[in-house]
Structure 1
Amino acid sequence: MDLQFNRHRRLRNSAGMRSLVRETHLRTEDFIYPIFVVEGEKIKKEVPSMPDVYHISLDYLNEEIDELVGLGIQSVIVFGVPAEKDEVGSQAYHDLGIVQKAISQIKESFPELVVAADTCLCQYTSHGHCGIVENGKILNDPTLNLLAKTAISQARAGADIIAPSNMMDGFVAAIRHGLDEAGFEDVPIMSYAVKYASAFYGPFRDAAHSTPQFGDRKEYQMDPANRMEALREAESDVIEGADFLIVKPALSYLDIIRDVKNNFNLPVVAYNVSGEYSMIKAAAQNGWIDEKTIVIEMLTSMKRAGVDLIITYFAKDVSRWLKQE
């Protein structure tokens, strides 16, 4: 029998061969680990909806960073949970705010670690929205001034990267101008350029205490049904001076990640969000899935789609698994 066909299995017939021809690789250096810092002392309290993720007070922060550095993780993003909130989120831009204090402490003890600061108001406002509210409306332009003030205070504290997540129009331009005017022209902006109004954020709002007190965020976050809008959003941020582009969430938006990668010559970051994390953790705890293989496959799919970096709560787990291999 004279058959003509390709023998693709030749390159799959052993673990060594599969490793030799593997196209996409995960590295510990790819990961940015989120940290939730809180006011108070002797606090390391697990977030109820996020197994193995904790609220951490500053007196336990160095211990947490020691573990990350020991695993080879080279970057963190810091979120703050303040003790006090008000209408304008003033603790977000206070020089002694919880994020500012955490950044200063990390950089003093671990100067080699790359520290990104989440730059938003929602954790700090009494109403839980990402901007100034007047008569039930989220005001875009007045919010930009507060975001710039927040970014400047975070840079002053020692942040290596400013990561604005608010989705106000013009936020990158306002923050870039503010940083430059304040003498921080070398501090890059990792923009949440493409941020959808997603149902996958629920556990994060539990962690950050940032659930809106009225309405939702669909007025300023993107419709999950829209694809071309993502390119318009990303293009605006590139023009305004972004240095990285985040796509959030990741797992249901791999097509968007590929679009952004194909269209813009900047590092692309996936945010592997809380809902994606908690679903896998819950299923694994019930014995329904193999956590390690699922997580590796999921994060590899993000790299394959085109991301350069991944913000993920799985960073510790995966770093341990990679060390074992």
Structure 2
Amino acid sequence: MKNVIEVEYYHTTSKKWFFDFAQSLSAACGELVTVGNNSLKLPPSVGEGRFEFYELTDGFSLQIVDCTFFKNLHLSRKSNTGNEIYKVVYNLSITPVIVSKKSGRVKNISDGLADAVLLSSESTQLASTFEANQPTRMVILFFSRQWFIRHIGRHSYPIRVSRMQDFIASNPIQFTTNMDLRSRQLVEEIFQLNLPDLVLQQYLAGCGKQLCAYFFNQLIEEEVTEERIQSGEAMRIIRAKEDIEKRMDQPIPKIEDVAELCFMSRTKFMTMFRSIFNEGYSTYFMKLKRDKAKDLLLQGFTVEDVAKSIGYKDTAYFTKMFLKKTGVTPTDYQHRGQ
């Protein structure tokens, strides 16, 4: 990408980072960028529109970006060793904002409402690219760990979400999720606000907290939906297993065929089967057949009848497999049991 303005920055919930960001942007583009009240004043050659930051309460801030950069802008966040500051990005830009880690993983945030919300802690390596002449529309929440615990974490539901377990452990955390319609409407409302500064900040504080609530509700709804899907898939596997057990006198069906009946891929079926029954598909049914054979042999059935009852047409092959797994032939096993 040509003519890129490279800016390294950090973020906090206080306005200090905003002034430091203006200085870094000034140095990178070679023109003076200033801060007036809560707004970044962009030089005409760099961009136009709103680039605002509001320090709402202790540990909680909100940023509004509704502007167009006239040069490609690449922002690289300085990695901090702590995980005390977090940001949630709501992206309504027409074109996706490219987000990447230095490890090389790249993610487009905002493709419609899918993956349009990003949660990121300050210690994660994060870089964002904004293409020239493409409108950028984002609302970003900044909150401290302590603010979250006081205002959100006291409602215990967010910390039960599996995707927030790294937050609980104070580990680096970064992921995207979908933007629900309520959040989109609220973000659009924030863009349209035209209020006196004092009233605006009070209103934004309420909007920010509401967005936080919507965000964690969305995580919970996604997790519940996923659990329901997995529960339904698990029940299909259990029923398929029970059907096979009723037909032990037939060969074990191919994994691909059973997976198709369960409406899932072969790999997913194998993974879920092992998770549910603690054994692989083939191992499970071979062991089941072998246990049935042992029981029938001890009841006095002939080796030929036992072989047929568990799906072997070739008695010699059954004897060979039985010997391989148990160390004795079916006849010896029967005699020892008697």
> Do these two structures clear the TM 0.5 threshold for a shared fold by scoring above it?
no
Higher CA-based Rg:
2
TM-score (norm. length: structure 1): 0.24
The structure with more strand, counted as a fraction of residues? 2
User: Quick one: higher RCO (CA 8 Å, sep 6+), 1 or 2?
Assistant: 1
